[in-house]
Amino acid sequence: MEFHLFDLLEWPPGVGREPAFRDELERLALAEEQGYAGAWIAEGDPARAGIGPGVHLAAAWLSARTTRIRIATSVRIPPFFHPLRLAEEIAALDIQSGGRFEWGVSPGDASDEGRRIFREQLTIARTAWTGESFRHDGDFFQIPELQCLPAPVQQPHPPIWIAALDRPTVEWAGQNGLGIFGDAAAPTAQLEDTRRVHREAVSAARRDPVGLPVVRRMYVGETTARAREEAGPAPDAESIVGDAIYCRDRIVELHERIGLDRLVCWQSFGRLPHEAILASQRRLIEKVAPAFD
């Protein structure tokens, strides 16, 4: 099983916000040195989450400072952007990272029209990534014949992870060979059902199997009592806060129930100081991850 690191890029108001932002980027860059398989980047400003410039810029920064780990966004909302712009940005990030980029996206709008816009945009992006000339005459976008360059390193395109667990989107993703991922608060029981629906759609469409990354808030302390004192009240019932043995047992449960193959660990939640977060990151890799080799 793979362990990935998650961090929320926030711009807290007032004096001193720049050091906090740099701390978040540095924690992500340390993922490679510490032994994580990847780093997932999310935006923390609720007023523009998924639509601000931070995620792709941070991914470019991170790709220049690492050589091995996968780099993923969590999440971008395509309906706020033109699909060709997104296709070009993702291709450029994939080239810059040497084929290590993964694209986490969300429809943003759960309405039927929102889903249709989202699906049309992903269809356009995937066609653009072939590097061949194409045209598109859809319900929401009309594109004259053109060639979208550059093409990404990964073929047919970088992995796409969709942050939506509603049944229509899960089935559509499976039918099109695209992955989904569970957010930090998604109940395990819901993920069990989601994985079943997705696998059935993938199988019916004769697509290659796709994993199900799951995000979980996690803090690995020296003892369970101390971990819970340091991390404070768990933000949700799915949070994993305790010593290495407790965290290992909770991850084993996840693995057994949903066939977990990639855990995306969010260890920077609450008011934990920078050094405490780094310590938790190290403990997870040194004391928990070896049980899943």
Write the CA distances from 89 to 53, 130, 150, 170, 289, integer angstroms.
11, 15, 9, 25, 33
pLDDT of residue 225: 96
Distance in angstroms (rounded) separating the CA atoms of residues 66 and 31:
9
Give the pTM: 0.92
Q: Which residue has the tokens 């019932």?
A: 237
What is the fold, at CATH topology level, of the domain defined by 2-292? TIM Barrel (3.20.20)
Angle between helices 17-34 and 54-64 (to 10 degrees): 50
Helices within the chain (DSSP H only):
17-34, 54-64, 83-96, 112-128, 167-175, 188-204, 224-231, 244-258, 274-283
pLDDT of residue 15: 44
pLDDT of residue 55: 85
3-state secondary structure of 52: coil
Residue 214: enclosing H or E segment and its boundaries? strand 214-220
Asked if 7 and 28 touch (Cβ cutoff 8 Å), the reply is yes
pLDDT of residue 54: 74
pLDDT of residue 133: 95
| The two structure tokens encoding residue 221 | 């302390």
- Provide the residue count of the chain: 293
Single-letter amino acid code for the residue at 233: P
pLDDT of residue 75: 78
Q: What are the b/e assignments for 147-175, b being 16+ CB within 10 Å?
A: ebeebbbbeebbbbbbbbbeeebbbbbbe
Single-letter amino acid code for the residue at 52: G
Distance in angstroms (rounded) separating the CA atoms of residues 52 and 63:
19
Asked if 214 and 258 touch (Cβ cutoff 8 Å), the reply is yes
Strand 134-137 to strand 142-146: parallel, antiparallel, or no bridges (unpaired)? antiparallel
pLDDT of residue 108: 81
Chunked mean pLDDT (size 10), the chain, 293 residues? 89 54 87 96 64 78 95 85 92 97 88 90 96 95 93 95 91 95 93 95 94 95 95 89 97 94 92 92 97 92
pLDDT of residue 11: 57
Distance in angstroms (rounded) separating the CA atoms of residues 209 and 287:
30
